[in-house]
């Protein structure tokens, strides 16, 4: 979906396909047929943006066969779909029964992360619509904090510098400008937007920036205005933002609140949980850990890294951090010039929701994704953007 900003530029809105993960190219083509095109039809649009997730094997198949890559581009066109951004955070196995810490491997200290991201940039340059010259790839925020040391940090910085050089060369070759964005996430070495400033300072700002995920932002109790102003002051760009909402519990000391939270503790993904205290931010790596002990104070609100559907917050006594998303979006695209032109709805946890809230069919999932995109569209229109055909 495309929108005209009051400054005349185009802002793109997509939804991320990691919600229906596929490891192979055949699986990706199935996504387009079984999920993406039905969402487009529900929205009544001739064209729908998708934030494509290409796992390692699918990406390699496309890199190694230009004919197959052209075939994917033709299939996107045939189904009324377009790609201006890729989600390069998960490397493989995102559809596994247990993902948890695996999603952070390989990290940016591993040469394979550089190789994979370079491949994604080349693929995106070939998949961009003819009238679009800029693409974005989001990636993990260097690595998980455990075991990360100065050597890893130096290796990662060197890898990102090499990536920037490759992206410059790619633009010279193709005329397409691809930018990569580190996505701060709780528990990682770059947990917050503030944590991103140091590693990204003086590092090819035109090529490497931050992906602002509004669920992650909220989970860490970051104020959107403060966070985005600090990035701007440091000269750190925002190539991409992910529109998502976290789980919020206002009174975690109440038994009924704990019971409601327990329904969201599940075995597939990590749900890092945080509480803001006078002494600073406290947290656990997973919601189950927060509920089981006294690692977090229960006299202050908790937020958990669980991407809840934008249009359907959990029932009381829980809620979502949709207000944080609204504030962030106002700051991102509500000013005289957008801070980013790539927006991606990223609710990948539909099948991890409590059993009574999960979509029971492809059709119901398509309905939910379409409803999320409709909410995001309405927010953009309220900010003065105009939806384009």
One DSSP character per residue, 343-374 reads: EEE----GGGS-GGGS-SSHHHHHHHHHHHHH
Asked whether residue 266 is assigned to any structural domain, the reply reads no
Report pLDDT for 21.
84
Asked whether residue 213 is assigned to any structural domain, the reply reads yes
Q: Which two tokens stand for residue 23?
A: 């490891």
Asked whether residue 265 is assigned to any structural domain, the reply reads no
The number of domains in the chain is 1
Give one word for 302, left, alpha or beta, with left for phi > 0 and alpha for psi -120 to 50: beta
Query: Is pTM, for the whole model, over 0.75?
Result: yes
Report pLDDT for 205.
87
For CA atoms 332, 159, 140, 188, the dihedral sign is negative
Report pLDDT for 352.
97
Asked whether residue 185 is assigned to any structural domain, the reply reads yes
Residues in the chain: 389
Domain housing 100:
2-248+311-387
**In the sheet that 273-277 helps form, which strands lie side by side, from edge to edge?**
280-284, 273-277, 302-308, 245-249, 318-320
Q: What is the CATH number of the domain that holds 38?
A: 3.20.20.150
Regions in the chain scoring below 70 on pLDDT? none
CB 142 within 8 A of CB 108: yes
Asked whether residue 268 is assigned to any structural domain, the reply reads no
Separation of alpha carbons 126 and 123, rounded Å = 5
Report pLDDT for 359.
96
Separation of alpha carbons 306 and 244, rounded Å = 9
CA dist 51 → 81, 200, 215, 254, 324 (Å): 10, 24, 17, 39, 22
β-strands 302-308, 273-277 pairing:
antiparallel
Asked whether residue 328 is assigned to any structural domain, the reply reads yes
Report, in this order, helix, strand and coil percent for the chain, each rounded to 5. Answer: 45, 20, 35
Asked whether residue 256 is assigned to any structural domain, the reply reads no
Q: Read off the pLDDT of residues 215-256 as tens digits, 9 standing for 90 and up.
A: 999 999 999 999 999 999 999 999 999 999 999 999 999 999
DSSP class per residue in 87-98: E-S--S-TTSS-
Q: Read off the pLDDT of residues 121-172 as tens digits, 9 standing for 90 and up.
A: 999 999 999 999 999 999 999 999 999 999 999 999 999 999 999 999 999 9
Asked whether residue 344 is assigned to any structural domain, the reply reads yes
Separation of alpha carbons 321 and 249, rounded Å = 10
Separation of alpha carbons 340 and 332, rounded Å = 6
Q: Which two tokens stand for residue 146?
A: 């455990």
């Amino acid at each position: 979906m495309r929108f005209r900003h009051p400054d005349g530029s185009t802002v793109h809105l997509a939804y991320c396909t990691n919600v229906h993960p596929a490891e192979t190219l055949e699986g990706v083509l199935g996504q387009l047929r079984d999920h993406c095109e039905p969402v487009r039809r529900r929205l009544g649009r001739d064209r729908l943006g998708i934030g494509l997730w290409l796992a390692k094997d699918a990406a390699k198949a496309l890199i190694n066969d230009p004919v197959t890559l052209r075939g994917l581009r033709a299939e996107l066109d045939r189904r009324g779909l377009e790609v201006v951004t890729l989600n390069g955070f998960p490397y493989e196995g995102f559809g596994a029964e247990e993902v948890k810490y695996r999603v952070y491997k390989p990290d940016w200290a591993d040469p394979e992360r550089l190789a994979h991201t370079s491949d994604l940039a080349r693929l995106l340059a070939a998949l961009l619509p003819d009238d679009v010259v800029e693409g974005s790839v989001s990636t993990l925020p260097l690595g998980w904090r455990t075991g990360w040391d100065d050597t890893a940090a130096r290796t990662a910085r060197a890898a990102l510098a090499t990536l920037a050089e490759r992206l410059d060369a790619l633009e010279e070759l193709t005329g397409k400008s691809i930018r990569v964005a580190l996505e701060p996430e709780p528990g990682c070495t770059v947990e917050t937007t503030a944590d991103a400033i140091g590693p990204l300072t003086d590092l090819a700002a035109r090529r490497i920036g931050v992906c602002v995920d509004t669920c992650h932002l909220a989970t860490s109790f970051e104020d959107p205005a403060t966070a985005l102003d600090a990035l701007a002051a440091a000269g750190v760009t925002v190539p991409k933002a992910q529109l998502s909402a976290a789980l919020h519990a206002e009174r975690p000391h109440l038994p009924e609140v704990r019971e409601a939270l327990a329904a969201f503790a599940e075995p597939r993904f990590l749900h890092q949980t945080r509480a803001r205290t006078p002494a600073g931010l406290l947290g656990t790596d997973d919601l189950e850990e927060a509920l089981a002990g006294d690692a977090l104070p229960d006299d202050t609100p908790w937020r958990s890294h669980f991407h809840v559907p934008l249009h359907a917050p959990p029932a009381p006594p829980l809620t979502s951090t949709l207000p944080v998303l609204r504030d962030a979006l106002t700051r991102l695209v509500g000013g005289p010039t957008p801070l980013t032109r790539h927006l991606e709805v990223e609710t990948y946890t539909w099948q991890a929701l409590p059993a009574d809230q999960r979509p029971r069919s492809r059709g119901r999932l398509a309905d939910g994704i379409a409803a999320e995109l409709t909410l995001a569209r309405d927010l953009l229109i309220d900010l003065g953007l105009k939806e384009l055909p």
